[in-house]
Structure 1
């Protein structure tokens, strides 16, 4: 496997994300070959200079770096099986989201073929692909990542290598999205609570932004406490904060809103308090999360 300033790339799968990935490679000047299972996709990419392959094998043979982005790992494997004989000597990058376990299974399959393999996770929506702000995780063969890092960064300026364990990109993907979707639920739930008393979401939005900034400010400190297992309760404590959550649950249910997620927060807090963390900081709720029984 060789590296030069503009390696050739193949993109297998032309859903909206696959087309964005191919477009970013083209925009960065990489010779790009595309393939899709069904016809009718990629005409715009061809007009920009991409080459359409008739088969996955044909696409793979034209490239140094092969990127697959399809609906799931079963679909990815079905595509790659058709090109298995052509993959050795190339870098295979799987940007199909799934679990860490599936990523490691895919890595074992690639290793058996003698193929350098990176598993990845795209953390931004389609319009952000190729921008300096786009975050994409990669994990797997370090030497392969380093050899083609400039190529992979064509997809996003925040592209990050997170380790040799092929499952780590998926771990980062799931943990970051866990935070994101829980926060998004809280945002919408808060708007719904305000609206139940006639307060428009737009009126509450500026104050949501203020609290979002506060949330950002505590990320590093919370990470340090979770990693160390030390939760100094000198500024707040779990018992008091759980009482605040209980008030929100009561108000939400009184207004006919679904408060199941917040009740889950209370359950985890209660476990942590039972474990002796009532006087510790809010971060100690992690103990209740880690001990669900």
Structure 2
């Protein structure tokens, strides 16, 4: 159990790293910080943080080392040379990268005698510490359990994903893709309705209503996909029905002078899946196109 005495070292003081360190300080944790540009630590030092002169000094100061740098390559540049200095330490890497990089870095940490958790932050810097902010972690469960009280300071949505160090990266990019897809579709919709004199804020309540309905669709589709039997029952609408409606969107966009690239992508996707024999199946059958190996 954490007794509020666990000290933390934070390596990397970009906007996110500063937010992480500030949250630890606010919670009363002894916090050591390091950054290549030391001036980024000025406010943190004024609030009680200790500025380490080198990464080695920062690692030596705490058993829990939180790393938040620009890339995994930079992570290895910064802590890679430390070698034995990492022995017995717990490294929590919150740097954005790929699942392969996360797994490789976990193996590197193991060879250097360090416990390792890889993580992903699903929040902006101002959201760090909020009860609603989600941070994913993966690695040895005992290591996560030992440090969960400290890590939970960063967000009430702190979530352990299991032993595969690559999972946080997979969740990170998938959720970001979902965000950009939804935002692009929202903005495309605004571009259409504003041709009829509709303000974006007038469209928002209906967009929210429809997004709530989409949640129901995704739950049904997830069950169909996880069944793994290749059956995609059209409980709401057949894929051929979706395609017919999409053609209306394409025609309207073109007639109004709104960019058609987004609906055109969806049209090609649906037509390809229908050509594979899924016309009477649900939209969940489109997963077969995304699973197709890259050529």
TM band (smaller chain): over 0.9
Cα distance in 2 for residues equivalent to 1:230 and 1:30: 53
2:256 corresponds to which residue?
A: 255
1:118 corresponds to which residue?
A: 117
2:158 corresponds to which residue?
A: 159
Query: CA 1:6–1:247 in structure 2 vs 1: closer, same or farther (change >3 Å)?
Result: farther
Secondary structure, counterpart of 1:205 in structure 2 = helix
Shift of 1:150: 0.8
Shift of 1:254: 2.9
The question of whether the paired residues in 2 share the 8 Å contact of 1:129 and 1:156 is answered with yes
Cα distance in 2 for residues equivalent to 1:114 and 1:139: 18
The question of whether the paired residues in 1 share the 8 Å contact of 2:2 and 2:150 is answered with no
The question of whether the paired residues in 2 share the 8 Å contact of 1:222 and 1:283 is answered with yes
Q: Following TM superposition, where does structure 1 have runs of at least 4 consecutive aligned residues deviating by more than 4 angstroms?
A: none
1:104 corresponds to which residue?
A: 103
Secondary structure, counterpart of 2:44 in structure 1 = helix
Cα distance in 2 for residues equivalent to 1:199 and 1:211: 17
1:230 corresponds to which residue?
A: 231
Shift of 1:113: 0.7
2:178 corresponds to which residue?
A: 179
Shift of 1:3: 6.0
Shift of 1:234: 3.6
Q: What's the RMSD between the two structures over aligned residues?
A: 1.7
Q: Map Cα deviations across residues 36-94 of structure 1 (whole Å, 9 max, x no partner).
A: 11121122211221111111110110111101111111111111124333211111011
Cα distance in 2 for residues equivalent to 1:181 and 1:218: 19
Does residue 219 (structure 1) correspond to residue 218 (structure 2)? The answer is yes
1:130 corresponds to which residue?
A: 129
Query: CA 1:16–1:290 in structure 2 vs 1: closer, same or farther (change >3 Å)?
Result: same
2:73 corresponds to which residue?
A: 74
Larger displacement relative to structure 2 (164-173 or 37-46): 37-46
Cα distance in 1 for residues equivalent to 2:140 and 2:25: 25
Cα distance in 2 for residues equivalent to 1:246 and 1:291: 24
Cα distance in 2 for residues equivalent to 1:40 and 1:158: 31
The question of whether the paired residues in 2 share the 8 Å contact of 1:6 and 1:151 is answered with no
The question of whether the paired residues in 2 share the 8 Å contact of 1:56 and 1:82 is answered with no
The question of whether the paired residues in 2 share the 8 Å contact of 1:57 and 1:82 is answered with no
1:37 corresponds to which residue?
A: 36
* Residue segments in structure 2 that go unaligned for 5+ positions in a row: none
* Residue segments in structure 1 that go unaligned for 5+ positions in a row: none
Secondary structure, counterpart of 2:273 in structure 1 = helix
| TM-score (ref. length: structure 1) | 0.94
Secondary structure, counterpart of 1:163 in structure 2 = coil
Shift of 1:25: 1.1
Shift of 1:269: 1.4
The question of whether the paired residues in 2 share the 8 Å contact of 1:67 and 1:93 is answered with yes
Larger displacement relative to structure 2 (98-107 or 227-236): 227-236
Q: How does 1:21-60 map to 2 (within 5 A)?
A: 21-60=20-59
Query: CA 1:279–1:39 in structure 2 vs 1: closer, same or farther (change >3 Å)?
Result: same
The question of whether the paired residues in 1 share the 8 Å contact of 2:135 and 2:159 is answered with yes
The question of whether the paired residues in 1 share the 8 Å contact of 2:128 and 2:155 is answered with yes
1:93 corresponds to which residue?
A: 92
Cα distance in 2 for residues equivalent to 1:87 and 1:98: 21
Q: Which has the higher helix share?
A: 2
2:277 corresponds to which residue?
A: 276
